[in-house]
């Protein structure tokens, strides 16, 4: 995993610089998401590893998959990634690009996993509180997971706050087993 992150890093930086200079973060996000999804497909991975499937064909396939989202710089990027045999690094490129974009735009995506439903008012308060704490605009996604029994788990970047009953019971079980 860390090897793929290392391989992806210079590509993500290059794309980020192109996007920053042209003000095209959204267009790059859209096309990179498509590329990453394609590269995660096992059939495309097999083609990328197949020495009988040439670079031009692989690049053409990725360009076709991107469809209307494709623009000249993205097309050049596809050709570069294919030529350098880095198609399998595209999910990592996308992940790192999105992290750099969020940092540049002062935003962060957070996830609230709750045992029970969360009202819009609660969602707004949690997002505002998290935004104050992190000093960034927060986009909060809420999902329900009844297996938490009660409470919630909040994830934002590297921060994880586990205030679930399931989490507390696991901690208790761990401390009792020592």
Q: Evaluate whether 70 touches 63 at the Cβ level (below 8 Å).
A: yes
Return the higher-pLDDT residue of 1 and 132: 132
Cα–Cα–Cα angle for 52, 91, 153, nearest 5°? 150
Across residues 132-156, what is the average pLDDT?
93
The pLDDT value given to residue 1? 53
Which pLDDT does position 158 carry in this prediction?
A: 84
Would you say residue 110 has pLDDT above 90?
yes
Domain 2-102: assigned CATH number: 1.10.520.20
Query: Is the pTM above the cut of 0.85?
Result: no
Q: Which residues, 6 or more positions from 96, have their beta carbon under 8 angstroms from its beta carbon?
A: 5, 8, 9, 12, 13
Enter the DSSP assignment of 29: H
Which pLDDT tens digit goes with each residue over 55-98?
A: 999 999 999 999 999 999 999 999 999 999 999 999 999 999 99
pLDDT, residue 128, reads 95
Residue ranges in the chain assigned as alpha helix (H): 2-22, 25-39, 42-49, 55-66, 72-83, 90-105, 120-134, 165-177
Which residues are bridge partners to 138 per DSSP?
A: 108
pLDDT over 60 (residue 6) = yes
């Amino acid at each position: 995993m860390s090897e793929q992150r290392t391989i992806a890093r210079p590509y993500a930086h290059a794309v980020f610089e192109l996007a920053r200079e042209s003000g095209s973060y959204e267009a790059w996000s859209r096309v990179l998401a498509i590329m990453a999804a394609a590269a995660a497909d096992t059939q495309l991975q097999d083609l990328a590893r197949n020495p009988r499937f040439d670079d031009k064909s692989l690049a053409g396939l990725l360009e076709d998959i991107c469809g209307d989202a494709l623009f000249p710089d993205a097309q050049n990027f596809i050709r570069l990634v294919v030529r350098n045999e880095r198609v399998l690094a595209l999910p990592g490129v996308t992940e790192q690009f999105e992290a750099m974009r969020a940092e540049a735009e002062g935003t962060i995506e957070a996830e609230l996993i709750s045992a029970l439903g969360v009202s819009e008012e609660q969602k707004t308060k949690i997002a505002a509180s998290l935004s104050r704490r992190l000093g960034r605009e927060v986009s909060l996604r809420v999902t329900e997971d009844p297996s938490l029994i009660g409470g919630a788990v909040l994830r934002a970047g590297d921060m994880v706050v586990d205030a679930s009953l399931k989490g507390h019971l696991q901690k208790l079980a761990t401390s009792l087993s020592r």
